[in-house]
A and B are shown apart, each in its own frame.
Chain A
Amino acid sequence: MPTLEDYVARIEGTCGEEKDVIVVFKYDKKDEAIANILKKAKEKNRLAGIIFELTFEDISFRLYTSGKAIFRSIKNRESLNQILEKLLL
């Protein structure tokens, strides 16, 4: 049974007033993580083939083909984990 730890290398709060959260996917699982997310999230926009603007359950986020995602307006780590579980697993 896969877990979040299989896909996520690190979650970091950014510095700056925006309080964004960056999720870094494990290098060897990033393509699989991106594919899973793109299957489940709604694509609002695709920019230069490297950035996907997505929404999932009213949460907007950006996914980068380098294997990183930036989430905004996340209440706390627990709610982020719940969203990631739904997106990835």
Chain B
Amino acid sequence: MNIQAIRQDFPILSRQVNNNPLIYFDNAATTQKPRQVIDVMSDFYEKYNGNVHRAVHTLSIEATDLYEKSRQKVAKFINAKDWSEIIFVRGTTEAINLVAYSWGLNNLGKGDEVLVSLMEHHSNIVPWEIISKIKGFTIKYAEVNPDGTLDYNDFESKLCKNTKIACLSHVSNVTGIINDVRRITKAAHDNGSLMLVDGAQSVPHMAVNVQDLGMDFLAFSGHKMLGPTGIGVLYGKKEVLERMRPFQGGGEMIKEVTFSQGEGCSVIWNELPWKFEAGTPNTCGAVGLGEAVKYLQTIGMDQVLSHERELTEYAVERMQECKKVTIHGCCDFSNKCGIIPFSVKDLSSHDVALICDNYGIMIRSGYHCAQPFHQQILKLHSSDRASFYIYNTKEEVDRFIEVLKEIEEL
């Protein structure tokens, strides 16, 4: 993996921030875009823009072709059995909301339970909380150990006959710890429950094989894997998706709308995946995501993970030189992606992030949309987070350590 060659593909990495070279360590929030993705999107609007599945004219057909080819690329990327199991949505949040509203509203009621973990991003908590208020089911929260690892025994013990769906992030967006979703999926299925996996932090960073892991749903975002914002994916097993009602109504998701006097309109839903894609989709975004997938495949997902782990191990080792820095969560690098949550003694997370920003280093501060995890498990008011991707280097980590040392001296 030639990092310097990869860096050449990312125009933004040549810019300066506050008179310093940009060091982008906020990849868990969003990633930068390679020239290839930028070009394919620009090319789309310059040559192919038309509304997909709507018309017989050339532009519509070409746009549809590009859109559906992207779907096939994504299906292959996660080894879906069939391309119709790939639903384009805005991102992970919308994907989970789709399941909560479409499946949850129609399959959950009083006495039922949804099981989630305390390490979840808000997007895998709040949709279930909203629907539970409407349908009256219970949400159970599985414990997380103080080192940020999932309490597997607690998760499995909370699966019961009432549990209709279990929801778990594949990789924690706070600690980067990888959860054994194969084990939890098997436990959920043995219990007769469906399994939803939040793949926002796994699909961009490691090989994810949905047929091997066996989950019923996998949600992930394009912008966290070199693609544009506003495009993401819900993968769902065909037999599960076929039993679900549409999430939103409108054009595209219907096969037929017939009107009869006195009875109004009767509707026949479209086939998968379009049943879940009401309205004009983010065609250009999907095309950009397809190119991002191609870019990652060229590198190889094993290489991506290996590079991130090497960088994380190096950064954690060097952060030990900083006496006032505390790294949160388990540091078992064999079970971790490139995320390091930390705090600096006597400084708020936002101060640390603002000082880093002064030096051109972008890190995240706050709860990282995981407030229960911070409050209940890590016992922190907030934390800082450095997160790496394919274009980050050891030299950037060295500069980051220099700045952390300067912060310690303040």
B is a partner of A: yes
* Contact bitstring B317-354, A, C-beta under 8 A = 1, else 0: 00000000000000000000000000000001111001
A43-89 with Cβ < 8 A to chain B:
47-48, 50-51, 62, 64-66, 68, 70
Secondary structure class of chain B's binding surface, majority of residues: helix
Closest Cβ of chain A to B67, distance in Å, is 35
- Given known contacts A47-B410, A48-B410, is B358 in contact with A16 (CB within 8 Å)? no
Q: Does A5 sit within 8 A of B, measured CB to CB?
A: no
Secondary structure class of chain A's binding surface, majority of residues: loop
Taking a contact as CB atoms under 8 Å apart, the answer to whether A62 and B351 are in contact is yes
| Alpha-carbon distance between A80 and B254 when the two chains are bound, in angstroms | 51
Please pick, from B354, B366, B409, the residue contacting A16 in the complex, using a CB distance under 8 A: B366
> How many residues of chain A get a CB closer than 8 Å to chain B's CBs?
17
| Alpha-carbon distance between A20 and B349 when the two chains are bound, in angstroms | 10
* Contact bitstring B367-408, A, C-beta under 8 A = 1, else 0: 111010011000001100000000000000000000000100
* Contact bitstring A14-25, B, C-beta under 8 A = 1, else 0: 111110101000
Taking CB atoms, residues of chain B closer than 8 Å to A51 are: 355, 358, 410
* Contact bitstring B162-200, A, C-beta under 8 A = 1, else 0: 000000000000000000000000000000000000000
Report the number of A-B residue pairs with Cβ-Cβ less than 8 Å: 58
Closest Cβ of chain A to B351, distance in Å, is 7
Q: Does B298 sit within 8 A of A, measured CB to CB?
A: no
Closest Cβ of chain B to A4, distance in Å, is 21
Taking CB atoms, residues of chain B closer than 8 Å to A48 are: 406, 409-410
Please pick, from A16, A47, A66, the residue contacting B365 in the complex, using a CB distance under 8 A: A16
Taking CB atoms, residues of chain A closer than 8 Å to B348 are: 16, 18, 20, 70
Please pick, from A16, A50, A62, A65, the residue contacting B367 in the complex, using a CB distance under 8 A: A16
Taking a contact as CB atoms under 8 Å apart, the answer to whether B381 and A16 are in contact is yes
| Alpha-carbon distance between A17 and B381 when the two chains are bound, in angstroms | 5
Which residue on B lies nearest to A72, using beta carbons?
B348
Which residue on A lies nearest to B357, using beta carbons?
A66
Interface range for B: 20 to 34
Q: Does B18 sit within 8 A of A, measured CB to CB?
A: yes
Taking a contact as CB atoms under 8 Å apart, the answer to whether A70 and B350 are in contact is yes
Taking CB atoms, residues of chain A closer than 8 Å to B366 are: 14-16
Taking CB atoms, residues of chain B closer than 8 Å to A68 are: 354, 357
Taking a contact as CB atoms under 8 Å apart, the answer to whether B355 and A50 are in contact is yes
Closest Cβ of chain A to B227, distance in Å, is 25
Closest Cβ of chain A to B407, distance in Å, is 9
| Alpha-carbon distance between A14 and B351 when the two chains are bound, in angstroms | 11
Taking CB atoms, residues of chain B closer than 8 Å to A47 are: 410
Which residue on A lies nearest to B370, using beta carbons?
A15
Which residue on B lies nearest to A62, using beta carbons?
B351
- Given known contacts A47-B410, A51-B410, is B367 in contact with A15 (CB within 8 Å)? yes
Which residue on B lies nearest to A21, using beta carbons?
B350
| Alpha-carbon distance between A15 and B355 when the two chains are bound, in angstroms | 17
Taking a contact as CB atoms under 8 Å apart, the answer to whether B410 and A14 are in contact is no
| Alpha-carbon distance between A39 and B84 when the two chains are bound, in angstroms | 64
- Given known contacts A14-B350, A70-B350, is B365 in contact with A65 (CB within 8 Å)? no
Listed A/B pairs (5) with beta-carbon separation below 8 Å: A15-B382, A17-B382, A18-B348, A18-B350, A70-B351
Which residues does B use to contact A, with CB under 8 Å?
18, 348-351, 354-355, 357-358, 365-369, 371, 374-375, 381-382, 406, 409-410
Given A16-B349, A64-B358, A66-B358, list of 8 further CB < 8 A pairs?
A: A14-B350, A14-B382, A16-B348, A17-B375, A17-B381, A18-B348, A68-B357, A70-B354
